[in-house]
Amino acid sequence: MKLQYLGDSRDAFKWDILHWICANSSPCFGELVYVPMLTPDIRNSPQGKTSPLKFDCSNFISKFVSSLRKKPRSLERVKSLGATEQGASPFRVSLFSPYEFIGSGKQRARYWDGFKPEQFENAVVFFDPDNGFETVTCDGTKWVRHSELEDFLSRLPDTSVAVVYQHRPMRKWVEVFADLTVRMGYAHTAIAAYEGNLAFVALANNASAGSRVRAVIENYANAPRKHPNVRVAVLRDALSLTHKWATPSPPSPLPKGAREELKLQPKVSVLTNITTTPAWRVLAAHAETLRGRHLRQMFAADPGRTARLKLEQDGILADFSRQRLTPETMTLLHALAREAEMSGWIARLFSGERINLSENRAALHMALRGAEGDVFCIDGRNVMPQVLAERARLRAFCANVHESRWRGYTDESITDVVNIGIGGSDLGPRMAVQALAAAAKPGLRLHFVSNIDAADLAMTLRGLDPARTLFIVASKTFTTQETLANAHSAKQWLLRAGVLNMGQTMFKLCYGAEFAPEMFSDSLEETQNKIVARHFAAISTNVSAAKEFGIPETNVFPFWDWVGGRYSLWSAIGLPLALAIGMDNFEQLLAGARAMDRHFREAPPETNLPLTLALLDLWNTDFLGAETRAVLPYSRSLALLPPYLQQLEMESNGKAIDRNGRKLACASAPIVWGGPGSDTQHSFFQLLHQGGRLVPCEFIAMARPDFDLPGHHDKLLANCFAQSETLAYGRNTEEARADLAAAGRAENDIAALLPHKVFPGNQPSTTLLLPRLDATTLGMLLALYEHKVFALGVLWGLNSFDQWGVELGKQLAARLLPIIEGNNTTTATDPTTRQLIDYIRKRD
Ligand code: F6P
């Protein structure tokens, strides 16, 4: 084999990498293929002009080597590879240069036609996009280069490894490459970076080729002294993005020539059962050593644990020193997260990969809170332009309502908004409107109707003026029974009032009121349509169904199938909130969530807040056996956070089948419940203190109040801190006895009361403290929970973004409805259901 190397003017790092590949990979690969995309030397060369397809590199190598004479250190490297000035080397090098020197348009297309990556068997293909990547964005023509690279990589045989090199500012390129490789389905991907401005990617879709390159990278990371340029921390960080190459069941190789399909094809994780990993086994053994240890003992043994078991991020303090674990537990949990390929999954999430396998969808709700200039791609298309355009429409709509330009059918301004939706189309905005009530704009009341029980809608409409009421029908699918039934009834209510009011309206007209006279030349149906157009808006991914309902497209705010219902607050589903607090505040909510997205994506695992909360949940659930988790906001404004989290956490991770369809070997989402302190101290706290069950608790409190009445907030905080402390330490027999004696109780009284006065304690808790409850901090908090849920899904190997478990009941309800209505001659097949229906029939 021969090594020939072509250098260009900025080859210092490149040479280092080639050196690394050659030195470490020569036994594995027969050929080094070097593919520069823009190399001025080549462009101007005679070979470049005459034969773009394949070169004899000898002229270049001798030219390069002679130039190296002037750089003794570089020459040493050449020599160490066995290269000579004649160009002898351990590798055969082929050179392809697809770009600049062969022009553009048809010429280039022809070139690519003749370019056959399939021919490289057992090769290291060193792909040097150089400036070819510099201007890559997800839109317009510049993307072309990216897709050509994709095409190239998808056609590369499985026995070969592609190495993509880029010496542009590192983070951006790591992201570009991460995006590319994830979308390409390369399970064996390493992204290494060094010297802060170089990104380097090795790709392999074959496990053994992959593991050889991984070994090379690890070598490199482990031998910093040999490579003084390497910033080991950066390299290790980048390596943590590496998908596991050597794990037992590698994914099947990518099918050839199926690029389009590939993009849609779900990627299968290599890891199938986390309980079989070494990290899990170590954790299980470690849990045994902690069993029976009381939090009192843990604090006594390690006075520094408070400082070590906490995280602070953008003003949020997460204190988990009262969890039943030690700093060592955290280290072991992080090892488990590495086994679960956490960093790779985070990259996949943000890259827009269709990680919701069973629905073949991406989960890109982070794009909804993206800012101008951000790029979030699905199938290579940047979704941000449409997200921003819809956000601008929301802003305009809110301004029209707030400034009374939006008027009802009698030309009155809007005073009441009723959101009709359920699940993710209700819980988020309902919770957030209440949470941010302190920031509410005056003059507009928000109402939420979700339940199919008429009591919900009827009670809400009581006292509302149809002429001043705006309905928002929020439904991702626009097929949900509850929402459609409520929306139809609301429409009837409005139209009845509207038609009755027509007499008055005519009167107004006759007496000179400024009102649209054309309304009265219309048919009844046209009039009704006009009334609906003034009083109904819709939010949905199913725009045509909303239009069919009678809502004009101008009042329909779309969102997209890559937004899960329970992750949709940030989309137009947040409209009721934007109306309540104004669009500027709503954008603050998005900004807060965006900050948490950045943190989740970029923070190292040990300081990563969502990941840490996920690991705590996993520890409590799978190693301590907790079946539930209590969410305890010490904030009346956050009273609806527990129900919101019930959907977010339990609909996402309440699953016992992993993403590959296999039964989970461990427990998944605990039952989430809770309610606001201090109320709940007077309802269920008794059980937390003395019920004998393990219930990990999550306290949430704010340093400053959102509504300030003198003395209240400090009392609230005192209660919060007292409860978590009492739950942790309890009161043992001696303390209880001493308290009773101090209260002057007689000895026989003490003996009788003592068992009732003992608090076992050792109830684990985390306390989240926020500076205050405002739109920004709420956005951060909710995104924190979203990412925690995702991280837990990764750890358990679940798809957190589908919800098949809610379907069966819906189908059966549809079958039973005609039977209950008496419109169906058949009866229910189940005897119990039959008995229940028979009872109901007696009402007639
Ligand atoms: O309960 C199932 C569910 O599909 C939730 O996931 C969703 O948030 C809710 O129903 C409402 O669905 P839609 O927004 O389509 O009406």
- At a CB cut-off of 8 Å and minimum separation 6, what does 758 contact? 730, 731, 732, 733, 736
Catalytic residues: 651, 682, 810
Can you give the length of the chain in residues?
844
808 Cβ inside 6 Å of ligand 1: no
pLDDT given for residue 176 in this prediction: 56
Q: How confident is the model at residue 195 (pLDDT cuts 50, 70, 90)?
A: very low
Instruction: Say if residue 298's pLDDT is above 80.
Output: yes
Residue nearest to atom 3 of ligand 1 (CA): 423
483 Cβ inside 6 Å of ligand 1: yes
Find where tokens 């979700």 sit.
Answer: 450
- Decide if 475 contacts 421 (C-beta within 8 A): yes
pLDDT given for residue 372 in this prediction: 93
Q: Exposure pattern of 568-588 as b/e (b: 16+ CB <10 Å)?
A: bbbbbbbbbbbbbbbbebbbb
Rounded-to-integer distance, Cα 422 and Cα 453, Å: 12
Helix or strand run (H / E) with residue 382: strand 381-382
Give the Å distance between the CA of 616 and the centre of ligand 1.
29
CA of 482, closest atom in ligand 1: 16
Alpha-carbon torsion 60, 62, 65, 67, what sign? negative
Rounded-to-integer distance, Cα 676 and Cα 680, Å: 6
- Decide if 209 contacts 276 (C-beta within 8 A): no
475 Cβ inside 6 Å of ligand 1: yes
Rounded-to-integer distance, Cα 594 and Cα 588, Å: 10
| Token pair listed for 319 | 């204190």
Instruction: Say if residue 96's pLDDT is above 80.
Output: no
- Decide if 754 contacts 784 (C-beta within 8 A): no
One-letter identity of residue 143:
W
Beta strands 316-319 and 765-770, pairing class: antiparallel
Task: Report DSSP state, residue 358.
Answer: G
Up-side HSE of residue 690: CA atoms within 13 Å toward CB?
9
Give the Å distance between the CA of 417 and the centre of ligand 1.
21
| Token pair listed for 540 | 């949905």
Give the pLDDT confidence of 237-295 residue by residue, as tens digits. 444 443 332 232 333 333 343 333 323 333 333 445 899 888 999 999 999 999 999 99
Give 831: exposed, middle or buried? Use CB within 10 Å, 0-12, 13-18, 19+: exposed
Rounded-to-integer distance, Cα 460 and Cα 445, Å: 11
Closest CA to 178 of 381, 342, 351: 351
Could you tell me the CA-to-CA distances from 683 to 318, 393, 580, 679, 680 in Å, in that order?
A: 26, 45, 31, 7, 5
Q: How confident is the model at residue 825 (pLDDT cuts 50, 70, 90)?
A: confident
CA of 568, closest atom in ligand 1: 8
Up-side HSE of residue 691: CA atoms within 13 Å toward CB?
12
Beta strands 445-449 and 381-382, pairing class: unpaired
CA of 422, closest atom in ligand 1: 11
End-to-end Cα distance, the chain: 92
Give the Å distance between the CA of 676 and the centre of ligand 1.
25
Rounded-to-integer distance, Cα 486 and Cα 459, Å: 12
Rounded-to-integer distance, Cα 298 and Cα 309, Å: 12
DSSP string, 33-46: EEEES--HHHHTSH
Beta strands 92-95 and 556-558, pairing class: unpaired
Q: How confident is the model at residue 178 (pLDDT cuts 50, 70, 90)?
A: low
Instruction: Say if residue 331's pLDDT is above 50.
Output: yes
Residue nearest to atom 2 of ligand 1 (CA): 806
Q: Choose from 154-163, 164-173, 659-668, 698-707 the range with maximum mean pLDDT.
A: 698-707
Give the Å distance between the CA of 475 and the centre of ligand 1.
7
Closest CA to 661 of 358, 240, 214: 358
Closest CA to 484 of 423, 554, 546: 546
Rounded-to-integer distance, Cα 499 and Cα 520, Å: 11
423 Cβ inside 6 Å of ligand 1: yes
pTM of the model: 0.70
480 Cβ inside 6 Å of ligand 1: yes
Q: How confident is the model at residue 842 (pLDDT cuts 50, 70, 90)?
A: confident
Rounded-to-integer distance, Cα 147 and Cα 207, Å: 24
Rounded-to-integer distance, Cα 183 and Cα 354, Å: 9
675 Cβ inside 6 Å of ligand 1: no
Task: Report DSSP state, residue 690.
Answer: H
pLDDT mean over 834-844: 87
Give the Å distance between the CA of 76 and the centre of ligand 1.
65
419 Cβ inside 6 Å of ligand 1: no
Instruction: Say if residue 111's pLDDT is above 50.
Output: no
Q: How confident is the model at residue 822 (pLDDT cuts 50, 70, 90)?
A: confident
Our mutation pick for probing the ligand 1 site, out of 425, 559, 650, 810, counting the most ligand atoms within 8 A of Cβ, is 425
Give the Å distance between the CA of 481 and the centre of ligand 1.
10
Could you tell me the CA-to-CA distances from 717 to 696, 705, 720, 723 in Å, in that order?
A: 19, 10, 5, 10
366-380, 392-406, 768-782, range with the lowest pLDDT: 366-380
Rounded-to-integer distance, Cα 260 and Cα 738, Å: 75
Our mutation pick for probing the ligand 1 site, out of 475, 476, 543, 560, counting the most ligand atoms within 8 A of Cβ, is 476
DSSP string, 489-519: HHHHHHHHHHHHHHHHHHHHHHTT----GGG
Task: Report DSSP state, residue 71.
Answer: -
pLDDT mean over 581-586: 98
Q: How confident is the model at residue 829 (pLDDT cuts 50, 70, 90)?
A: confident
Helix then strand then coil, % of the chain, to nearest 5: 55, 10, 35
486 Cβ inside 6 Å of ligand 1: no
Cross-strand pairs, 194: 198
One-letter identity of residue 424:
G
Give backbone dihedrals phi and psi of 626, rounded to 5 degrees, phi first.
-70, 140
Cross-strand pairs, 407: 413
Beta strands 445-449 and 469-474, pairing class: unpaired
pLDDT given for residue 242 in this prediction: 39
Residue nearest to atom 6 of ligand 1 (CA): 565
